[in-house]
Amino acid sequence: TQEREPERQPHAGRRVALFPLPFQGHLSPMLQLADLLRARGLAVTVLHTRSNAPDPARHRHGPDLAFLPIHEAALPEEATSPGADIVAQLLALNAACEAPFRDALASLLPGVACAVVDGQWYAALGAAARLGVPTLALRTDSAATFRSMLAFPRLRDAGFIPIQGERLDEAVPELEPLRMRDLIRVDGCETEALCGFIARVADAMRDSASGVVVNTFDAIEASELGKIEAELSKPTFAVGPLHKLTTARTAAEQYRHFVRLYGPDCACLAWLDAHPPRSVLYVSLGSVACIDHDMFDEMAWGLAASGVPFLWVNRPGSVRGCMPALPYGVDVSRGKIVPWAPQRDVLAHPAIGGFWTHCGWNSTLESVCEGVPMLARPCFADQTVNARYVTHQWGVGLELGEVFDRDRVAVAVRKLMVGEEGAVMRETARRLKIQANQCVAATLAIDNLVKYICSL
């Protein structure tokens, strides 16, 4: 564990209700936050949906940790069909969960001092506020992404959204270093629907949240955090990197949660042991992103042609419409392919020299915290924002263009892994890792958050 022993305050009787969004990249930071609050003497009740529920048996629960399912109705088919986009799912989830969440939270009253709900649960934020429960929103994305969401309605009114093709490389007013092409987008989702969803999130933040908790830290996003606080005039707590602050025990528990879903191949760690330091490229596109079959083939040929050893996560369902089968004749003898990896252990392994990532926020933070430079190839949502910060703000990654072929892949991989440019990024990443560790050692933000909760 990296966490120093927290001071347990006499907060007896103070209970916080947490409500995570039921996706891996959201559940995990919320459960990590639960652990940190408990370690500081607060009691926690995790309200959760029935779909993709955390398994209470996998958590050391007792009087200071309880799980309470809400009884949401099944989502309409159009929100769950394979072609449904994430915005349609989020809108449907919010609609289905509002009343059951309100009833579950009301059943805990008056024993709850405060609620912390995922920042995408705009309906829950409103419901908690109407019950008179002070509620904080946990942003499981970056401060830069959240800022861009707050700016979305303004950008739309000013005519920048929908984004016009000829403006893709223009800087976004007030949001440097973002370009128009880096703003959140979701394939298959109409601009209207996306703007509508983001407006609901931004309105709920303004109208119903008592404060904002962000899984980030000052060394990488101090300026963005300051601007959020100024814009919302609400307390803002940068409590990240959460995965580094929680104890080893919790990490293992989180980990088992993932195992339940995919079953990581831990043998890949032994495979890494047999490789020299910084020689292996880790390739993963997270838990949700899907790519086309053509892109998958070009990745395979390009990775093979780079001559660099690689550990590649081919998650079932990650290639649209089929099982990811390698193209005939490609030589992947330098690589290892697994359905799911113990990612945090992989990134911390000395053999890893680079990470080809979709730039999900958790993956980005995990890479930054281990000092691993990245090859950024975002797919959708906030990944484009994160990729821009990785490559142009922090200087710890190369951008792999939106359209690529095997030759470009091979060149980019070599540039990152054995080139001069990659070496400079690796050194910058090493320095950023030191700063991340300093934040972990301080734990000031989480202590301030607990003080704030106790003042409510």
Mind telling me the catalytic residues? 26, 118
Q: Applying CB under 6 A, which of residues 344, 377, 406, 426 lies at the interface with ligand UDP? A: 344
Cβ at position 286, least distance to ligand UDP in Å: 3
Q: How far apart are CA 27 and CA 253, in angstroms?
A: 12
Q: Interface with ligand UDP by CB under 6 A: which range of 2-10, 20-28, 127-135, 211-219? A: 20-28
Distance of alpha carbon 370 from alpha carbon 347, whole angstroms: 6
Q: Residue 287 or residue 443: which is nearer to ligand UDP going by CB? A: 287
Residue 360 to residue 156: CA distance in whole angstroms? 25
Our finding on whether 258 is near ligand UDP (CB under 6 A) is yes
Nearest to 154 by CA among 179, 172, 176, 140: 172
CB of 177 or CB of 339, closer to ligand UDP: 339
How far does Cα 443 stand from its chain's mean position? 20
| Residue 360 contacts ligand UDP per CB under 6 A | yes
Nearer to ligand UDP, 142 or 443 (CB): 142
Q: What is the CA angle 415-418-424, rounded to 5?
A: 75
Q: Are 245 and 446 in contact (CB under 8 A)?
A: yes
Q: Tell me which of 101, 160, 361, 394 binds ligand UDP, using CB under 6 A.
A: 361
**How buried is residue 7: exposed, middle or buried, by Cβ count under 10 Å (0-12/13-18/19+)?**
exposed
Nearest-approach distance from CB 36 to ligand UDP, in angstroms: 17
* Binding status of residue 366 toward ligand UDP by CB under 6 A: yes
Beta carbons of 40 and 9 less than 8 angstroms apart: yes
One-letter identity of residue 278: R
Q: Are 29 and 362 in contact (CB under 8 A)?
A: yes
Nearer to ligand UDP, 257 or 414 (CB): 257
Of 215, 236, 318, 363, the one binding ligand UDP by CB under 6 A: 363
Instruction: Please report, as a single letter, which amino acid is at residue 373.
Output: P
Residue 25 as a binder of ligand UDP (CB under 6 A): the answer is yes
Between 25 and 134, CB nearer to ligand UDP: 25
Residue 362 interacts with ligand UDP (CB under 6 A): yes or no: yes
Residue 409 contacts ligand UDP per CB under 6 A:
no
> Contact, 286 vs 25, CB < 8 A?
yes
> Shortest distance, CB of residue 29 to ligand UDP, whole angstroms?
9
Spell out a b/e string for 175-201, using b for 16 or more CB atoms within 10 Å of the CB, else e: beebbbbbbbbbeebeeeebbebbebb
Overall residue count recorded for the chain in this entry: 456
148 binds ligand UDP (CB under 6 A): no
- Closest-approach residue to ligand UDP (CB): 360
Stretch that binds ligand UDP, among 144-152, 170-178, 221-229, 360-368 (CB under 6 A): 360-368
Give the nearer residue to ligand UDP in terms of CB position, either 160 or 255. 255
| Residue range at the interface with ligand UDP (CB under 6 A); choices 21-29, 36-44, 179-187, 368-376 | 21-29
Task: Name the one range near ligand UDP by CB under 6 A: 41-49, 87-95, 358-366, 432-440.
Answer: 358-366
Q: Does 22 bind ligand UDP (CB under 6 A)?
A: no
Nearer to ligand UDP, 12 or 270 (CB): 270
Site for ligand UDP in 311-340 (CB under 6 A): 313, 340
Q: Are 41 and 11 in contact (CB under 8 A)?
A: yes
Q: Which of residues 284, 314, 384, 443 is near ligand UDP by CB under 6 A?
A: 284
The nearer residue to ligand UDP, 98 or 141, going by C-beta atoms, is 141
Cis peptide leading into residue 339 (ω within 30°)? no
The region that residue 317 occupies, defined by phi over 0 for left and psi between -120 and 50 for alpha, beta otherwise, is left
Measure the CA–CA gap between 252 and 40, rounded to whole angstroms: 20
Binding site for ligand UDP (CB under 6 A): 24-25, 28, 258, 264, 284, 286-289, 313, 340-341, 343-344, 360-363, 366
